[in-house]
């Protein structure tokens, strides 16, 4: 039975104002004190894991193991990373002060941003709540969190936060659809972290621009898996099955295009077909099932449209061809002979579909993988690590796994995000945690009596000395430092005397 936190009747009206009023009570405690709440949250999640799986499964039709592995384990990973790393990542960072500014100290102070608006999609409703909340709390930001209307997990997150003794309004869960999200954004949060479709991401960015609100956009993907002919085929097939089918293919980083090199294509495809046929699909009660069903009817329709279009354009559906086009338990579908103009070749399918393409050369694989408007993540498979690394570096994406799949997002120390239509900004890791903070640059000058040489008055003599000092400082001469010291001292002495 879930408990209400802080108030089950919270509505969008005044939410950002309430979060702003609560902000000082979160910014005041030390990072250590803040992450102590995250430790309690971790304990609550561990203790209540079965209940969490029940609630997520009821909203998503996922298999219990999918929820355990990706949503709960993944969320805990981010929480624990924050506990262990936030204090260091957000500590004042000393940076070098140039000799030209001798006697001063330069540092970056990472301060809370204020109020973070988090708008999430329906595909990982637990993870997409816990990960940004953990990072925001570690950074000292209060959160207004709007889950997808399709997967509200009603009452669950509030109840876990209550167990973790979060103060009221540190995190508010505001339920509702896109209009509620738009209303919250219009209230002027200090930043918006949006995860969802590219189309909505563009609307969010346009609305945020009106108020110059910074955005993090984690959008869609069309991730490529490039398999060279020297791989362990069984392992690569197992990777393709998991990468394409986990969460029933409803992951932003799902494998959506599998490029297999000529030499193994005719062995790889039958092995993939056999593996797809062996997937156990059930909305299970005990963890004994690989994948469940689709979360929304709308996404079922998208998959049906992609499959019908591919079939009409001559593609071969090698498994799951008897799917009726409407059952949310869409069977894994291996598809080959896909023409370039098929929807499935370029648009995000977001379902349990494994399109396989044949390629010959390394250059061709890179070119075809990069021929996408999306650029979230990808994977490269080869025993030749030099080649795999070379190809990985050539891909226009936010992250690449080598000889693994969806592994970059499973590493909480790595920043996560994409390029192109996959969005902008990074969250997670040090860079992602700092993205939820305000980097304030500071210069501390201990010496209060010296009048700086670059301050007024400007005179002809000062101009000449400054020129000599500059020529020395920026030159490549062996004696640049002594010359800099000589003209720098002269300039300083002159400046002291030149006061009007």
CB 10 within 8 A of CB 22: no
Ordered strands of the 333-336 beta sheet: 316-317, 333-336, 353-359, 255-261, 223-227, 377-381, 399-402
Instruction: Identify which of residues 373 and 479 has a Cβ nearer to ligand NAD in the complex.
Output: 373
347-386 positions binding ligand NAD, by CB under 6 A: 348, 350, 376
Least spacing, CB of residue 425 vs ligand NAD, in Å: 10
H helices within 246-296, ranges in order?
262-277
Contact by Cβ (8 Å): 154, 127: no
Reduced to 3 states (helix: H, G, I; strand: E, B; else coil), residue 24 is: helix
Structure tokens at 163: 């167990």
Out of 29, 155, 168, 178, name the contact with ligand NAD by CB under 6 A: 178
Of 116, 196, 143, 195, nearest to 37 (Cα)?
143
CA separation for the pair 14, 475 (Å, rounded): 58
**Residue 210 known to be catalytic:** no
CA atoms within 13 A on the CB side of 462: 16
Q: Among residues 189 and 423, whose Cβ is nearest to ligand NAD?
A: 423
Stretch that binds ligand NAD, among 191-199, 256-264, 356-364, 444-452 (CB under 6 A): 191-199
Catalytic residue among 252, 256, 362, 409: 252
Task: Respond yes or no: is residue 364 known to be catalytic.
Answer: no
By CB under 6 A, name the one of 140, 221, 289, 351 that touches ligand NAD: 221
Q: Which of 119, 143, 237, 347 binds ligand NAD (CB under 6 A)?
A: 119
Q: Going residue by residue from 244 to 263, which x/- string records binding to ligand NAD, judged by CB under 6 A?
A: --------x-----------
Toward ligand NAD, which CB reaches closer, 122 or 436? 122
Binding segment (CB under 6 A) for ligand NAD, from list 9-17, 136-144, 216-224, 443-451: 216-224
Among 204, 240, 334, 347, binds ligand NAD (CB under 6 A): 204
DSSP character at residue 132: H
User: Can you tell me the distance from the alpha carbon of 221 to that of 118, in angstroms, rounded to the nearest whole number?
Assistant: 20
Residues 129-148 that bind ligand NAD (CB under 6 A): 146, 148
Residues 311, 88: Cα–Cα separation, whole Å: 54
Gap between the Cα atoms of 23 and 309, Å rounded: 51
| Total of chain residues touching ligand NAD, rule CB under 6 A | 28
Q: Does 80 bind ligand NAD (CB under 6 A)?
A: no
User: What does the alpha-carbon distance between residue 228 and residue 263 come to, in Å, rounded to a whole number?
Assistant: 8
Position among 149, 162, 229, 309 found at the interface with ligand NAD (CB under 6 A): 149
Q: Which residues bind ligand NAD (CB under 6 A)?
A: 119-123, 146, 148-149, 177-178, 181-182, 185, 195-197, 200, 203-204, 218-221, 252, 348, 350, 376, 423
């Amino acid at each position: 039975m879930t408990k209400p936190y802080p108030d089950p009747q919270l509505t969008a009206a005044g939410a950002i104002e309430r979060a702003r009023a609560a902000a000082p009570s979160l910014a005041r405690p030390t990072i250590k004190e803040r992450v102590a709440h995250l430790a309690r949250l971790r304990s609550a999640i561990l203790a209540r894991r079965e209940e969490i799986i029940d609630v997520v499964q009821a909203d998503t039709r996922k298999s219990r193991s999918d929820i355990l592995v990706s949503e709960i384990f993944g969320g805990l990973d981010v929480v624990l990373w924050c506990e262990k790393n936030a204090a260091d990542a957000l500590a004042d960072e000393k940076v070098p002060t140039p000799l030209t500014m001798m006697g001063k100290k330069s540092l970056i102070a990472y301060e809370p941003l204020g109020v973070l608006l988090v708008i999430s999609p329906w595909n990982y409703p637990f993870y997409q709540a816990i990960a940004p909340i953990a990072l925001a709390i570690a950074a000292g930001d209060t959160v207004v969190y709007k889950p997808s209307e399709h997967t509200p997990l009603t009452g669950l997150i509030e109840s876990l936060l209550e167990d973790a003794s979060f103060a009221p309004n540190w995190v508010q869960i505001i339920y509702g659809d896109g209009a509620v999200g738009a209303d919250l954004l219009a209230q002027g949060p200090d930043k918006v972290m949006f995860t969802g479709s590219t189309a909505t991401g563009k609307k969010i960015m346009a609305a945020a621009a009106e108020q110059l609100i910074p955005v993090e956009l984690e959008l869609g993907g069309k991730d490529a898996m490039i398999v060279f002919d020297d791989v362990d085929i069984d392992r690569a097939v197992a990777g393709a099955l998991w990468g394409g089918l986990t969460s029933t293919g409803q992951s932003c980083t799902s494998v959506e295009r599998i490029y297999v090199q000529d030499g193994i294509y005719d062995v790889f495809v039958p092995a993939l077909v056999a593996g797809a046929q062996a997937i156990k699909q059930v909305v299970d009660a005990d963890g004994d099932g690989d994948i469940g069903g689709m979360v929304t009817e709308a996404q079922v329709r998208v998959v049906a449209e992609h499959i019908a279009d591919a079939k009409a354009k001559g593609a071969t559906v090698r498994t799951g061809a008897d799917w009726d086009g409407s059952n949310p338990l869409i069977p894994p579908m291996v598809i080959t002979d896909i023409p370039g103009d098929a929807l499935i070749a370029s648009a995000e399918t977001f379902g349990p579909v494994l399109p396989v393409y044949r390629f010959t050369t390394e250059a061709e694989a890179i070119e075809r993988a990069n021929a996408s408007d999306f650029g979230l993540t990808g994977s490269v498979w080869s025993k030749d690590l030099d080649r795999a690394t070379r190809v990985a570096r050539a891909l226009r994406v936010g992250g690449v796994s080598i000889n693994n799949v969806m592994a970059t997002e499973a590493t909480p120390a790595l920043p996560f995000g994409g390029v192109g239509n996959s969005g902008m900004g990074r969250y997670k890791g040090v860079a992602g945690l700092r993205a939820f903070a305000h980097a304030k640059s500071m210069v501390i000058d201990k010496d209060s009596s010296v009048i700086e040489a670059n301050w007024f008055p400007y005179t002809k003599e000062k101009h000449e000395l400054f020129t000599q000092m500059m020529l020395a400082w920026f030159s490549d001469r062996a004696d640049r430092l002594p010359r800099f010291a000589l003209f720098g001292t002269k300039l300083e002495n002159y400046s002291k005397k030149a006061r009007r």
